[in-house]
Amino acid sequence: MDKPSRRPSDPLQAALGMLARRPYSVAEMRRALERKFGGGAPVRAAVARLRELGYLDDKKFAALYASSLARNRAFGRHRIRRELKAKLVDYKYIEPALGQAFEEVDERELLERALAKKIKTLRRPVTPARIYSLCQSLMRQGFRSDDIMKAVRSRPELKPGAEEVDPEALDEDKE
């Protein structure tokens, strides 16, 4: 006796199953369905029907995804923009979604929290190379470099201390 196939043969059914697991942008869903079923009218019809039903809406998806990344992952504006582009969100919805997300969450506060978390794991002594690495890490999280530098400079624990100076290096300078 043959086992029935679990894979839906209808693009609409497949799309509904995919949406049950996580939200998709319109283009992302179209691409996924085209991979499974090839291009053509059935895929276009499924995407159109999902949009009609309100299950695919780039504006709503962008707003929810941006807000979630800001609140839960503490990503900055630049990283969220990259993530939305990677999800193939229509460009006209990205900036409004970012604006809405950062009305709810203060980006400077996110940066301060991310910096505080990084400082806890920063190996001592604090060297310029470690501060550079810390700044690069915060930039990958999507924060602006000038905001990062202001935040880093405002932290006294990140200023190189006198105990970190090599006395032999001072003696060499005098010669």
Residue 122: the pLDDT is: 85
Alpha helices in 2-144, H assignment, sequence order: 11-21, 26-37, 41-53, 58-73, 77-86, 94-104, 107-121, 128-140
Single-letter amino acid code for the residue at 53: L
Place of tokens 């460009």: 91
pLDDT of res. 124: 81
**Cα–Cα distance measured from residue 81 to residue 83, given in angstroms and rounded to the nearest whole number:** 5
**The tokens of 145 are what?**
């470099």
Confidence of residue 160 (pLDDT cuts 50, 70, 90): low
Determine if the pTM surpasses 0.85.
no
**pLDDT tens, 99-147?**
999 998 999 999 999 999 998 888 888 888 889 999 999 999 999 999 9
For the chain, give the percent of residues with pLDDT over 70: 86
From residue 149, alpha-carbon distances to 14, 19, 108, 131 in Å are 48, 41, 12, 10
Cα 61–64–67 angle (5° rounding)? Answer: 140
pLDDT of residue 19: 95
43 CB contacts (<8 Å, ≥6 apart)? Answer: 11, 30, 33, 34, 37
**Per-residue pLDDT at 157:** 83
**Which helix H or strand E contains 57, and what residues bound it?**
none
